[in-house]
Amino acid sequence: MPSIEELDLLELPVLEPSFATDPLPGFAAAREWHPWLAKSAVGYLVHEYEAIKDLYFMDDHLEFATANIVEHMGARGTPWGDFTEGLMIVKQGEEHDRVRSNVAPAFTPRNVNKYRGLMRETVSKLLDEWAPRGAFDFAEFAANFPVRVMCGVIGASPDVVPPLRHALETQGMSFSMDPSILPTANAAITQLLDFADTFISERQRDGNPGAPDLLDELLAANSDGKLSDAEMRNLLVFVFAAGYDTSKNMLTFTLYEMLQRPQMWERCAEDLGYCTQVMEETLRYHSVSNVPRTVSREFTYRDVTFPVGTNLQFILTLSGRDPRAYEDAERFDPGRKAANRHLAFGRGMHICLGQFLARAQIEEGLHLMAQRLRKPKLAGEVTWRPFVGVWGIRSLPIEFEPAAVH
């Protein structure tokens, strides 16, 4: 059986800024060349829905591609490199289960639903501030929403957000495999870790006068010896940063699609359940994360051998546009009855911890935004984030008719 290195595969320029603006033609060409593989400067690209789904469950043969990322970035021994190598998503087996079990209960559907009131209150306040302008960069607006909800989850004041915005944005971009951003990434992660240290020490000193929160749970696990000091600190930064980036990217993608479908946007204002359908279809149509993996144990899949050390990228961002997995895959249809579930939140042991929180935020956010931002239309150039890592829209300038507050 041939090794993946022996295959004749189309190479895609995934690191080029122009590729990020419209990657679909590249992957359509790659599909004609090989049904589920392509190659790139950052590893082999798995672009077929079925192959990604199968490989996702091979946690005993694949691991998060930390070594490849840190090496490519020239980050060995740096603050960002050390933080990345200690992430929960890097851990495997019992060690991963131990760390994840101490934070997962905070993100169950039942616990997430407790924050829906906070979500509505947060987005309403933001709309009160932003909607009267009649025009703004929606990506910038959306960046203020999920992270403030995450403040409620971890027990922090929303006042901590503005000084940390640049650091959070940088951390979200840090997996784009661009070594030139390493100095900025080092400064950003240092600032975020300093925030975590101060937040933890203040809670230990003063206690929590409010309702129990995620930090209380992490401190209890730390006291019981279930989490080390470093693991507690890294987890706090990880969930805080993750809560900032991916949900606001999905909200921005959703509005991007709604600008082309005004009747759907009007219906979102009237029907929360329809917002759920729109959200799920957007997650199929535009997932935000491409997932890096490295082969830790050699294996064979579909008659192709994957040697140890092979670097892969699961192209989740476009897996839902695979015409073999979805009928009429290019049609955006919130009422779609699909046999296949989208892969936006992953599979296997590393399935997205915050998926239920993200879903709830997008549902509640869309419903209220559609009520207050009437007849939105594009008002400038759309710019894009790098395709590798957390893809998305960097800037989405819109203008709209502000609606009265009910």
Count structural domains, the chain: 1
Q: At 286, is the secondary structure helix, strand, or coil?
A: coil
How far apart, in whole angstroms, are the C-alpha atoms of residue 394 and residue 128? 23
| Domain span including residue 120 | 4-402
pLDDT at 96 > cutoff 70: yes
Question: What's the pLDDT tens digit per position in 277-299?
Answer: 999 999 999 988 899 999 999 99
Question: What's the pLDDT tens digit per position in 157-169?
Answer: 999 999 999 999 9
pLDDT at 406 > cutoff 70: no
Exposed, middle or buried: residue 383 (CB in 10 Å: 0-12, 13-18, 19+)?
middle
373-378 and 37-40 strand pairing: unpaired
pLDDT at 199 > cutoff 70: yes
CB 177 within 8 A of CB 73: yes
Of the given ranges (45-49, 140-144, 209-213), which has the lowest mean pLDDT? 209-213
Q: Cβ of 253: how many Cβ atoms within 10 Å?
A: 24
According to DSSP, residue 387 is labeled S
The amino acid occupying position 37 is L
Nearby residues of 386 by Cβ (< 8 Å), 6 or more positions away: 15, 17, 20, 173, 176, 177, 178
Average pLDDT, whole number, for the chain? Answer: 94
How far apart, in whole angstroms, are the C-alpha atoms of residue 406 and residue 390? 36
In the prediction, which pLDDT does 211 show?
85
Residue 43 belongs to a domain with what CATH number?
1.10.630.10
User: Percent of the chain beyond pLDDT 70?
Assistant: 100
The alpha carbon of residue 360 and the mean position of all alpha carbons in its chain are separated, in whole angstroms, by 15
Q: What is the mean pLDDT of residues 170-192?
A: 94
Query: CA distances (Å), 406 to each of 109, 132, 138, 371, 403, in order?
Result: 29, 14, 22, 9, 9
